[in-house]
Amino acid sequence: MAKVLLVDDEPAILRAYSALLHKAGYDVEKANDGAEALGRLRSQSFDVIVSDISMPRMNGLDFLKAIRERDQDVPVVLMTAAPGLETAMKAVEYGALRYCVKPVDRDELVTTVRRAVALHGMAQLKRQALELQGVEGQRLRDRATLEVSFGRALETLWLACQPIVSWRERKTFGYEALMRTSEPTLARPDLVLEAAERLGRLRDLGRTVRALAASAAREVPKGAMLFINLHASDLDDEDLHDPGAPLSRVADRVVLEITERASLEGLKDGKARAASLRRLGFRIAVDDLGAGYAGLSSFALLEPDVAKLDMSIVRAIDADPRKQSIVRSMAKLCEELRVVVISEGVETALERDALSDVGCDLLQGYLFARPDRGFPVPRW
């Protein structure tokens, strides 16, 4: 028998809807408000939750957020006697299955619960199927789930470092600090970024990464630089330009990487902001060169000290004369512009040697070391 948790602060409605759903064949558990319902969820699982929105102590939207901390699949039906467009939009955004107006028609309520139970069963089967395939079953979905996952990701954020080496001199030039988190639903950096963009929390993410990077920069081996990835929107954050910020205090050890994959044309006062960062002592790198926008806007705006060639033009360069020609020309032009070139994604000795032959000495990739905690020693 499917279990329904019914939550409402009006005793008459609670009794009526409970009797209706019980008659329809459901095992119904009742709670008078969201706080009481959360207590039930700590010890029981349900196939569907039907809740009022306007309740004391915890309203229905806050209750829905709390549910998603425990269960990402259980369908939630929200009810209200005071419907409004803003509330309805939030209900859908936070992952409610249905938004019903009180008094809810008896047949509509039973039909909604029946559909919700079936959908819950399907969600559980899909998760089991993904687990059998070894595929991660949790994805970015409704806002409530995403807020919970992103909050945990920020709390467990850490930086993995990967060395950048001079192959000719056999020494470490620097380390790139790469964002990692222990939150399993956002296991990749691109998922963390996607979540931050959807939630409007890029600034929170950027400040957290920079705080961690400031600590890492103080420990970076002598003579090596620390490379830190920035989102284009970070350039508008006054905290980044604050001379008293923790990262600014170690600016002489830090290179700020800004990706070529995103256009900077919409950035307000980009040239002035880049100049502001240089006055603090930062150096600036254009990342993913060769994989992003074909124009020169990033070079013109940022006037970078470093250009990092994207792994897409590095991979298998030893077997591709066209790539060799492109990289050789890029390296020569960068030399004329007094821009240091770093080749990313080097995985084989053949790629290493081909890059060296076309004038690229600074290399980064799994051939030398994988990203890890601390500062890994490269393999020569």
Tell me the per-residue pLDDT of 263-282, one tens digit each, with 9 for 90 and over: 565 667 778 888 999 999 99
For the stretch 318-331, pLDDT in tens is 999 999 998 998 88
Asked whether residue 202 falls in the same domain as residue 106, the answer is no
213: pLDDT strictly greater than 90: yes
In sequence order, the β-bridge partners of residue 98 are 77
Greater model confidence, 83 or 320: 320
Both tokens of residue 267? 């950035």
Asked whether residue 124 falls in the same domain as residue 186, the answer is no
Give the CATH number, domain containing residue 68: 3.40.50.2300
Both tokens of residue 64? 């829905």
Among 110, 132, 154, identify where a domain stops.
Answer: 132
Would you call 204 exposed, middle or buried from its count of C-beta atoms within 10 A (0-12, 13-18, 19+)? middle
Quote the pLDDT of residue 137. Answer: 47
Residue carrying the six token digits 């139970």: 117
For 22-65, give the secondary structure using H, E and C: HHCCCEEEEECCHHHHHHHHHHCCCCEEEEECCCCCCCHHHHHH
Among 106, 132, 158, identify where a domain stops.
Answer: 132
Highest mean pLDDT among 17-21, 141-145, 182-186, 232-236: 17-21
User: Rounded to the nearest 10 degrees, how much is the dihedral formed by the CA atoms of 20, 26, 32, 34?
Assistant: -130
Cis preceding linkage at 103, omega within 30: yes
Asked whether residue 108 falls in the same domain as residue 197, the answer is no
Asked whether residue 68 falls in the same domain as residue 113, the answer is yes
For the stretch 157-192, pLDDT in tens is 999 999 999 999 999 999 999 999 999 888 899 899
Mean pLDDT of 67-75: 81
For the stretch 90-106, pLDDT in tens is 777 777 888 888 889 99
Among 111, 132, 153, identify where a domain stops.
Answer: 132
Which H or E element spans position 149?
helix 143-155
pLDDT band at 82 (very low <50, low <70, confident <90, very high): confident
pLDDT band at 293 (very low <50, low <70, confident <90, very high): very low
Sheet arrangement for strand 27-31: 27-31, 3-7, 48-52, 76-80, 98-101
Mean pLDDT of 108-112: 93
353: pLDDT strictly greater than 80: yes
> What domain count does the chain have?
2
Domain assignment of residue 162, given as a range: 143-364
Q: Give me the half-sphere count of Cα atoms (radius 13 Å) on the Cβ side of residue 158.
A: 11
127: pLDDT strictly greater than 90: no
Distance CA 149, CA 58 (A): 21
CA angle 143, 146, 147 (to 5 degrees): 85
Mean pLDDT of 124-134: 62
Quote the pLDDT of residue 292. Answer: 52
Give the CATH number, domain containing residue 256: 3.20.20.450
Quote the pLDDT of residue 263. Answer: 57
Closest CA to 50 of 29, 35, 66: 29
Quote the pLDDT of residue 58. Answer: 87
Determine, yes or no, domain membership for 28. yes
